[in-house]
Amino acid sequence: MPRPFIIRSPEFDRFVGTTPYRDVIAVRVSASPEAIFASLRAVTLEDMKLAWLLGEIRYLPMRLRRRLPQSLPRTPFLDTLIRNGTLVLVDRSPFELITGSAGRLHCLDQRPVRFVSRAEFDGFNEAGFEKLFMSVRLQPAEAPGDWWLILEHATCALSADAATDFMRYWRVVKPLGAFATKQLLGAVAVRAEEATARREPAQAPAVLEGRQ
């Protein structure tokens, strides 16, 4: 399937500036914006098992140091990101959601930073760290009723040393990140299209956290 012409998000561009460390992935979805964003909020790691496996390998050092809790594969993925320190910066559901997080993203132990407020996140500028921004948004496709589901991410280094270190890491992580992103968006698309076929919302499974 040919890649669409991606319309830029002015709000996202204001967050990320001119950083060269950015990528964008899109999948086509035959569902309403409301169904797509309901699916985005419901999708779990179990819906994207290969991406889950890559994540488990990548984040094992942080789990061993107890910087990250154990994964909850049947908990909505977006909820897990927020639980681990990601902030929702802009919420224009069902058309765009922008998140932000920070850490030493080029290291095995990424030392994710937890923020209590948007002001604290905006003011964070510690050398050696990076901020990661993600925009999940919709763009109309050519066929009526179809949408491009887009995930664009960008990493902003907070010091010259961090930029040098992240440049080396980026060469490896960019293709792996693109693979994981396609898994995520594909899982969202499947949920949304199945929910549309059933004419019902894409609900997250009801799971007690202690029974993972």
82 CB burial (10 A radius; 0-12, 13-18, 19+): middle
Q: What is the pLDDT of residue 72?
A: 64
Q: Each residue of 64-104: pLDDT tens digit?
A: 455 555 666 678 989 988 988 899 999 999 999 999 999 99
The candidate with the shortest Cα–Cα distance to 134, out of 172, 163, 165, 105, is 105
For the chain, how long is the longest CA-to-CA vector?
52
Q: What is the pLDDT of residue 108?
A: 74
CATH second-level architecture of 10-197? 2-Layer Sandwich (3.30)
Domain locations along the chain: 10-197
Name the DSSP letter for residue 73.
T
Q: What is the pTM of this model?
A: 0.84
Place of tokens 């994981």: 180
Q: What is the pLDDT of the chain when averaged over all its residues?
A: 86
List, in order, residues 6 or more apart from 76 with CB less than 8 Å away.
41, 42, 43, 44, 204
Q: In percent, how much of the chain has pLDDT > 70?
A: 81
| Bridge-based pairing state of the strands 130-140 and 96-103 | antiparallel
